[in-house]
Amino acid sequence: MTEPVRQRIKVLSEQIRQHDYNYHVLDAPTIGDSQYDALMAELLALEADYPDYVRSDSPTQRVGAKPDQGFQEVTHRVPMLSLDNVFDAEEFSQFVARVTDRLDGLTPEWTAEPKLDGLALSIRYEQGNLVQAATRGDGQSGEDVTANVRTIRSIPLRLMADSIPEIVEVRGEVILKKADFDAMNARLLDAGEKTFVNPRNAAAGSLRQLDPTLVAQRPLSFYAYGTGELSQPLAPTHQATMAALKAMGIPVNPGLVVGDAVRIEQAYRDLLEERDQLPYEIDGMVIKVNRLDLQTSLGFVARAPRYASAWKFPAQEAATRIIAIDVQVGRTGAITPVARLEPVFVGGVTVSNATLHNFDEISYLDVRPGDRVMVRRAGDVIPQVVRVLADERTLNLPQVVMPLACPVCASPIERAPGEAVIRCSGGLVCGAQRLEHLKHFVSRKALDIEGVGEKLLELLIAEGLLHSPADLFRLSSEQLVGLDRMAEKSAANVIESIQAARETTLARFLFALGIRDVGEATARTLAQHFQTLDALMAADFDALLEVGDVGPIVASHIQHFFASEENRHVIQDLMDSGVRWTEPEPTERKGPDLSGQTWVLTGTLETMTRDEAAEVLRGLGAKVSGSVSAKTTVVVAGPGAGSKLTKAESLGIQVMDEQGLLEFLK
Ligand code: JCF
């Protein structure tokens, strides 16, 4: 009678193990969360009824008891090495030259992988079972964190492959993915607990938490990057070692590149570009000699191997001092506090301003002018103040007070219930809002008026020549000459480009109006859905909700916008000034139907810009994405295409060049 139960427990355990592997290692789950939960629930119920059948490697047995006295010390049988660093292409070449020299001129093959910014961990398997996990410590000995590591879902409690060496030590990095970090901090904040300053600290703090039940609630991940003690070799190269670990059920970083030094240098540039899109934080790229026998013959100096190096990225956080806190008024009246900084080099550029988002953020951070702070700049994102270096505040600094009136036009300030943002109520009466509004109107993705920039707009506003967008179309070159020392020829050019911009599209026009929350993509969807401006203006709330990606908030912003007498006047004025577009033809499309397809454009195109190509593809129903994944239908690659092309090739996705695209569209 109990044999079927034992059998069922075994089957369930194996199924769950397989699903863990599909999810964490292959990144390709075959069932949904609720089905997974159901399997787990059935197993838990059976084990509760038959405690004798509970095995220590059962998927239910990840959370164990708290160790009595702190963590035990573990001596690493093979030391855990750290890495030497290089910081630029020059130092990278020197590293390559040094290694090549030591190999008597043999040109080695290299590997490159993202350098995960987490916490190094060694996991020991004996007869395929996880028996011990230890932190790096000083490289010679670390702390026994086995009970905590058992709670990490992506780490198998038992290895999967058929023939496994008696002893396998896996070395890798424990990390928190960016999304998991954000969610975890939000939860901690909700619970009134202390939050972590970055994913690395959160991963380290979680792993060194004494109570495994608490660790189990922290969404830690693990990626292997090598091995420690092995009772027999796994493979002859680093690349093959990673493949062997993956086959045993260990997650390995998917971003491994293999090639000569030129290929590695290209991989560095690609990775730097992709950095912000990756789901986890990285602080550089690890470069290794691929062949393990060559690694061994190169040996190591002090605590780092000669065969490897970390090519570091520019730091994304740096300390500096706040000189002052100013406020800026945006296009929609939103008032944003801005920190003026002592210039600091961070994220690859010198930064002297950082956003503080809103006044709630200022009180939350308790940041004051004069404070030393950490500033973060990631990719194209606006630099931000992430925390105050509280220990370094020596004087009594004044707190920032929230303004009651707009600092530009003195109109009263409003705050919508439940919103953190405060806004100037002045609308287009406010000079700052008017300037931002006009800047947006002429910008590249709106009416795209070349030659009209912030400086000229400021001058025109100051001269009283520009109140609303339509005023632009009434300007004459005589009015421009002399402004900002503008010559007749350039004044004529500006007027010409303003006049040319009257010919536009409905999508661009809608975007240019600057309706709150109506970005480029929403404007395009609205134009496609309603076809005409009149139809959109006549749409009621429910009709707006029928549009994909328009929710109640956006719908109410749209209604609010068109309900305003003043806005309707601005629109009429623009039409009267000759702004026009050809209404899209309702059904007929000139080209293949690309509905449901996802296209990616990369590299440079010659006969058109990428934006123009994207517009054509969207017109045919395709979605145009910035990154390549298994869901990508076609990648169009021009000269200079990098990692996106490589990825498309490795995923077997159709690739075409510009010529191919033009043929295809015919
Ligand atoms: O991703 C990492 N942080 C990382 C660290 C990757 C590696 O391949 C490493 C490492 C530390 C030491 N390899 C060694 C030998």
> Looking at residue 639, which CATH number applies to its domain?
3.40.50.10190
Q: What was the pLDDT predicted at 623?
A: 81
Of 269, 290, 312, which residue constitutes the final position of a domain? 312
Residue 226 CB–ligand 1 contact under 6 Å: yes
Q: Please indicate, yes or no, whether residues 537 and 469 belong to a single structural domain of this protein.
A: no
CATH number of the domain bearing residue 210:
3.30.470.30
CA dihedral 116, 121, 122, 123 (to 10 degrees): -100
How far apart CA 83 and CA 493 sit, in angstroms, is: 57
Which residue, judged by its Cα, is nearest atom 4 of ligand 1? 115
Contact between residue 152 and residue 207 where contact means Cβ atoms under 8 Å apart: no
Q: Please indicate, yes or no, whether residues 186 and 290 belong to a single structural domain of this protein.
A: yes
More confident residue, 416 or 412: 412
The DSSP-derived string for 401-466 is PPPSB-TTT-PBEE--TT-S-EEETTGGGSHHHHHHHHHHHHSTTTT--TT--HHHHHHHHHTT--
Residue 175 CB–ligand 1 contact under 6 Å: no
What is the H or E stretch that residue 323 is in?
strand 317-329
Residue 115 CB–ligand 1 contact under 6 Å: yes
Q: What pTM value is reported for the model?
A: 0.68
Confidence of residue 593 (pLDDT cuts 50, 70, 90): confident
Q: Which of 76, 173, 258, 295 to mutate to test the pocket of ligand 1 (most atoms within 8 A of CB)?
A: 173
Q: Please indicate, yes or no, whether residues 116 and 255 belong to a single structural domain of this protein.
A: yes
Q: Is residue 306 part of a domain?
A: yes
Which residue, judged by its Cα, is nearest atom 9 of ligand 1? 225
Q: What was the pLDDT predicted at 615?
A: 80
Q: What was the pLDDT predicted at 584?
A: 60
DSSP 3-state of 163? coil
φ, ψ of residue 519 to 5 degrees: the values are -85, -170
Active-site annotation, residues: 115
CA–centroid distance, 227 to ligand 1, in Å, is: 10
Give, as one character, the DSSP assignment of residue 153: T
Q: Please indicate, yes or no, whether residues 249 and 334 belong to a single structural domain of this protein.
A: no
Which residue, judged by its Cα, is nearest atom 8 of ligand 1? 225
The structure tokens listed for 241 are: 């070692």
- Residue 529 belongs to what domain range? 506-576
CATH number of the domain bearing residue 350:
2.40.50.140
Q: Please indicate, yes or no, whether residues 202 and 328 belong to a single structural domain of this protein.
A: no
Nearest to 481 by CA among 470, 494, 498, 468: 494
CA–centroid distance, 589 to ligand 1, in Å, is: 52
Residue 173 CB–ligand 1 contact under 6 Å: yes
Report the half-sphere exposure of 523 (CA within 13 A, side-chain side). Answer: 20
Q: Please indicate, yes or no, whether residues 386 and 528 belong to a single structural domain of this protein.
A: no
Q: What was the pLDDT predicted at 126?
A: 96
More confident residue, 505 or 416: 505
Residue 225 CB–ligand 1 contact under 6 Å: yes
CA–centroid distance, 148 to ligand 1, in Å, is: 21
Residue 305 CB–ligand 1 contact under 6 Å: yes
- Nearest-atom index, ligand 1, CA of 80: 12
The DSSP-derived string for 113-141 is EEEE-SEEEEEEEETTEEEEEEE-TTSSE
Q: Please indicate, yes or no, whether residues 267 and 141 belong to a single structural domain of this protein.
A: yes
Q: How do residues 20-53 score in pLDDT, each as one tens digit?
A: 998 888 888 888 888 898 999 999 999 999 999 9
Q: What was the pLDDT predicted at 505?
A: 94
Q: Is residue 216 part of a domain?
A: yes
Q: How do residues 516-555 score in pLDDT, each as one tens digit?
A: 899 988 998 899 889 999 999 999 999 999 887 789 999 9
Q: Is 254 left (phi over 0), alpha (psi -120 to 50) or beta?
A: alpha
Q: Please indicate, yes or no, whether residues 306 and 335 belong to a single structural domain of this protein.
A: no
Q: Would you say residue 583 has pLDDT above 70?
A: no
Q: Please indicate, yes or no, whether residues 639 and 547 belong to a single structural domain of this protein.
A: no
Percent of the chain with pLDDT over 70: 98
Q: What was the pLDDT predicted at 1?
A: 57
CA–centroid distance, 630 to ligand 1, in Å, is: 28
Residue 83 CB–ligand 1 contact under 6 Å: yes
Q: Would you say residue 588 has pLDDT above 60?
A: no
Q: How do residues 251-301 score in pLDDT, each as one tens digit?
A: 998 899 999 999 999 999 999 988 888 999 999 999 999 999 999 999 988
Q: Please indicate, yes or no, whether residues 272 and 168 belong to a single structural domain of this protein.
A: yes
Of 264, 286, 312, which residue constitutes the final position of a domain? 312
- Whole-number mean pLDDT of the chain? 91
Q: Which of 278, 280, 286 to mutate to test the pocket of ligand 1 (most atoms within 8 A of CB)?
A: 286
Confidence of residue 587 (pLDDT cuts 50, 70, 90): very low
Residue 172 CB–ligand 1 contact under 6 Å: no
Q: Is residue 548 part of a domain?
A: yes
CATH number of the domain bearing residue 571:
1.10.150.20
Q: Please indicate, yes or no, whether residues 511 and 496 belong to a single structural domain of this protein.
A: no
Q: Would you say residue 3 has pLDDT above 60?
A: yes
Q: Please indicate, yes or no, whether residues 149 and 222 belong to a single structural domain of this protein.
A: yes
Q: How many domains does the chain have?
A: 6
